[in-house]
Amino acid sequence: MYKTLTLILFFFLTGCVNNMKPSDFKDQEPRLIIENFLSGKVKAWGILQNRSGKVIRQFSADLNGKWDGKQLILDEKFIWSDGEIQTRKWTINKLNENRYEGEASDVAGKAIGYSYGPAFKFEYVLLIPIKGKQIKIKFDDWIFKQDDKIAINRAKMTKFGFTVGELTVMFSKE
């Protein structure tokens, strides 16, 4: 009985683990250098899905980034389909060829970024206002460059290790 329960628990837990690593993409093209791609004006469109996959919100966004050789300042303006407007200002520091660190006013602590080949992974905890409280939601954010103008973003949002939503975004560099 305990062996069966342990085996089921093992397969359940290992099935929930994302084994994809940024370094899996190190030899692939086209190379996404996030400070180059997000410098200047970028348009984005996306959908937010709840944990069962239902699309609950859509948005468009205007991004404007400035790279000074060490730091990317990225201003984001989101226009949600229900009329809500959100803004965020990221400060992203390049630590070395493959590592980044970022901060924003609605991010708890520091965001950690990894860049290899066409992939950029950003891990952070976003403070989401719900009913007057700040709820901490962990983001596992992946951006994949398609060509010089297009990138696709998939973000998994979790709380206590459980998926609470997913975000899909398409970026178009102007």
Predicted confidence (pLDDT) per residue in 16-43, tens digit: 555 889 999 999 999 999 999 999 999 9
Looking at the 3D structure of the chain, how many domains does it have?
1
Question: Is residue 15 included in any domain, yes or no?
Answer: no
From start to end of 5-104, where are the E strands? 40-50, 55-67, 71-80, 85-94, 99-103
Radius of gyration of the chain (CA): 17
Question: Is residue 119 included in any domain, yes or no?
Answer: yes
Domain that holds residue 62: 21-173
Question: Is residue 153 included in any domain, yes or no?
Answer: yes
Question: Is residue 8 included in any domain, yes or no?
Answer: no
Residue 37's pLDDT is 98
C-beta separation of 33 from 14 below 8 A: no
Residue 130's pLDDT is 85
Question: Is residue 57 included in any domain, yes or no?
Answer: yes
Residue 11's pLDDT is 44
Question: Is residue 13 included in any domain, yes or no?
Answer: no
**CATH number assigned to the domain comprising residue 147:** 2.40.128.20
SS3 content of the chain, % helix, strand, coil (to 5): 15, 60, 25
Question: How would residue 13 be classed by pLDDT, with cut points 50, 70 and 90?
Answer: very low
Place of tokens 């990894």: 114
Number of DSSP helices (H) and strands (E) in the chain, helices first: 2, 10
